[in-house]
Amino acid sequence: MIVVKLGGAAGIDADAVLADLAGLGEPWLLVHGGNAELDAVSRRLGLEPRFVTSPQGLSSRVTDLETIGAIQMVYRGRLNSELVRRLQALGVNAVGLSGLDGRLWLAERKAAIRYVENGKKFLLRDDYTGRIVSVNAALLKLLLDNGYAPVMTLPALTPEGEAVNVDGDRAAAAVAAATGARALVVLSNVPGLLRDPGDPASIIRRIGRGELEAADGHARGRMKIKLLAASEALAAGVERVILATANTKSPVRDALAGEGTVIA
């Protein structure tokens, strides 16, 4: 079995990914993001998205309860429904789930988020952000064994019954780890990890387990989190993580055939 993460950045068309999955001769689980659409809908609703940067240089969304509401509307409501609908049109009996459903993604809420602004360190409290501590693999197996294709997205659930924002790439890594997937395919709007972000030809094609820290030096922005997710998946026993573009005719098959950046 494989886990596919479909990114939510602008410029990603899901059609080729879904058609590829519909014809894949192997069970799969799909996890999707939705950052660009969340920004767009939030602005239409009059909520301006805000982000903070951690001391490690990772960006994260400031998530109050209004943002959680917008995440539920956009990720679970609009994007997840649309992926399920398109898969159904392709003959795949998809079932959409957020991390709340069946306690699929159980998370612990972060007490505070450290961030840096103008060189000074601050603490953000009362944020609805968390990290996944367990995945309900039994629910996923139940659905797969009965012919359903689970399509997963944010938010996650705390043991206290709060909805929290979690990182989608790390969520996909947690799903791959919990379900014993042989590979995690992370599809986005870039071809993989590039030495030079402006030059697709500078792609790093293979990264060994021991080379992740060195590779991190080439990563910018979201790519840093993808490498972190990759290291978490590998540490939990997933054999291969492939970072590849969603924008080819057969993005999943191409990635499994070795296109993109293969981390193993």
Name which position in 82, 124, 202, 212 contacts its own copies (CB under 8 A).
82
Does 140 bind its own copies (CB under 8 A)? Our answer is no
Name which position in 86, 182, 218, 224 contacts its own copies (CB under 8 A).
86
Name which position in 24, 54, 113, 162 contacts its own copies (CB under 8 A).
162
Name which position in 111, 117, 126, 146 contacts its own copies (CB under 8 A).
146
Does 97 bind its own copies (CB under 8 A)? Our answer is yes
For the bound state, the minimum distance from the C-beta of residue 110 to its own copies, rounded and expressed in Å, comes to: 18
Name which position in 1, 19, 62, 101 contacts its own copies (CB under 8 A).
101
Does 172 bind its own copies (CB under 8 A)? Our answer is no
Name which position in 25, 55, 119, 161 contacts its own copies (CB under 8 A).
161
Q: What is the DSSP string of the chain?
A: -EEEEE--STT---HHHHHHHHT-SS-EEEEE--HHHHHHHHHHTT----EEE-TTS-EEE---HHHHHHHIIIIIIIIHHHHHHHHHHTT--EEEEETTGGG-EEEEEPS-EEEEETTEEEEE-S--BEEEEEE-HHHHHHHHHTT-EEEEES-EE-TTS-EEB--HHHHHHHHHHHHT-SEEEEEESSSS-BSSTT-GGGB--EE-GGGHHHHHTT--THHHHHHHHHHHHHHTT-SEEEEEES-SSSHHHHHHTT-SEEE-
Does 93 bind its own copies (CB under 8 A)? Our answer is yes
- 36 vs 58, which CB is nearer to its own copies? 36
Does 31 bind its own copies (CB under 8 A)? Our answer is no
Task: State the residues that interact with its own copies by CB under 8 A.
Answer: 41, 44-46, 69, 72-78, 80-82, 84-86, 88-90, 93-98, 100-103, 139, 142, 146, 148, 155, 157, 160-163
